[in-house]
Amino acid sequence: MAVMEFELIERYFTGCGSERDDVVLGVGDDAAILSLPAMHELVVSTDTLVAGIHFLPDVDPCSLGHKALAVNLSDLAAMGARPAWVTLALTLPQVDEAWLAAFSQGFSALAHQHGVQLIGGDTSSGPLSITVQAMGFVEKGRAWRRDAAKPGDLIYVTGTLGDAGLALQAIQQQLAFPQHERDEIISRLEKPTPRIVEARALNGLVNAAIDLSDGLLSDLGHILKQSDVGAVIEQGQLPLSAAFCACQQNEMAAQLSDECWQMLPLSAGDDYELCFTVEPQKRGEVESLLLAQGIDACCIGVIDAESGLRCVQENGELFHTDKVGYEHFKGSA
């Protein structure tokens, strides 16, 4: 590795995030050394973001640093794990120090917020691509798995759905929404909040969980398949943000088809909310906890034994979810 690259790592990626006591050796050696607490299991996840595929190459580098970490922390949240350590493999087309400074600032700020330390990585040259590996831990046997949903479980989601998908439409099709709402949904796309706090609060109360990166229908579908169950969800219960509703009620709403508006909360990706299932006997405990801790999550349906995902519209009719997908967004402006 060239001297220049050592300097870059020293400048931008040493001391990034929190300084943790359980890091025996961090950035600078051939590998890091970490000590895992007793009676816990290690939870590991990795995600790559490629320019032009997962993000627009001219996106704000500070937001990109945030998002590269956020999507990985979101995976740990979906396992019910406490995040601790991350590695960062960066492939850069050129050395742009202003870009690196902003990227590492966005990354480090979010790492600090969740007590996470950057403990190593790799830096090479090539087309812009970012791979983060996130590691955390969970009490033995208490991780949330996709294969653990049971008939009768209630299905919850955190936050709101469809904002990031609407933002992508707004950017790609240059839709004219009111500025405040437009900024709000774009920040949901570019700076998603990993639901770590929510996941830790719900420790012990959840059967199965997943984070919503590809859209509710697709991601909940993974839980159903792996748990060998089905589900009924109520379209009218899907949580929508004030910004989403304001855009939908605005005179500019006709820029998208009715069907597109209906599909965004169901099938658009990138929201990074959690979808989790709860045994019906635990409903009271979960609802009081959500209320007491000010956690934004709501019940959208129920798991049942009959396979498949049934989505009930507000008029009581079934919505045919097998026909839906991203192709509905194409040419809808």
Q: Which of residues 247-276 bind Mg ion (CB under 5 A)?
A: none
Under rule CB under 5 A, residue 2 binds Mg ion: no
Q: Which of residues 78-137 bind ligand ADP (CB under 6 A)?
A: 88, 90, 118, 120-123
Q: How far is the CB of 41 from ligand ADP (least distance, A)?
A: 24
Q: How far is the CB of 33 from ligand ADP (least distance, A)?
A: 11
| 136 phi, psi to nearest 5 deg | -155, -170
Cβ proximity to ligand ADP, 90 vs 157, nearer residue:
90
Cβ proximity to Mg ion, 6 vs 308, nearer residue:
6
Q: Which of residues 101-130 bind Mg ion (CB under 5 A)?
A: 122
Q: Which of 29, 251, 322, 327 binds ligand ADP (CB under 6 A)?
A: 29
CA atoms of 133 and 53, how far apart (whole Å)? 19
Nearest to residue 12, comparing CAs of 126, 94, 84, 108?
108
Dihedral-angle region of residue 138 (phi above 0 means left; psi in -120 to 50 means alpha; beta otherwise): beta
Question: Which residue type does 265 have?
Answer: P
Partner from ligand ADP, Mg ion, none binding residue 25, C-beta < 5-8 Å depending on class: none
Three-class DSSP category at 55: strand
Q: How far is the CB of 117 from ligand ADP (least distance, A)?
A: 10
Nearest to residue 103, comparing CAs of 2, 9, 226, 199?
9
CA atoms of 193 and 210, how far apart (whole Å)? 15
Cβ proximity to Mg ion, 9 vs 77, nearer residue:
9
Under rule CB under 6 A, residue 1 binds ligand ADP: yes
Under rule CB under 6 A, residue 27 binds ligand ADP: yes
CA atoms of 325 and 218, how far apart (whole Å)? 9
CA atoms of 266 and 91, how far apart (whole Å)? 34
Partner from ligand ADP, Mg ion, none binding residue 168, C-beta < 5-8 Å depending on class: none
**Region from 28-36, 62-70, 173-181, 237-245 binding ligand ADP, contact rule CB under 6 A:** 28-36
Q: Are 112 and 19 spatial neighbours (Cβ–Cβ below 8 Å)? A: no
Cβ proximity to Mg ion, 96 vs 122, nearer residue:
122
End-to-end CA distance of the chain: 49
Partner from Mg ion, ligand ADP, none binding residue 27, C-beta < 5-8 Å depending on class: ligand ADP
Mention every residue, 6+ apart, whose C-beta is less than 8 A from residue 43: 76, 79, 81, 135, 136, 137, 138, 143
Rounded to 5°, the CA angle 142-148-153 comes to 110
Residues in touch with ligand ADP (CB under 6 A): 1, 9, 13, 27-30, 88, 90, 118, 120-123
Residues in touch with Mg ion (CB under 5 A): 122
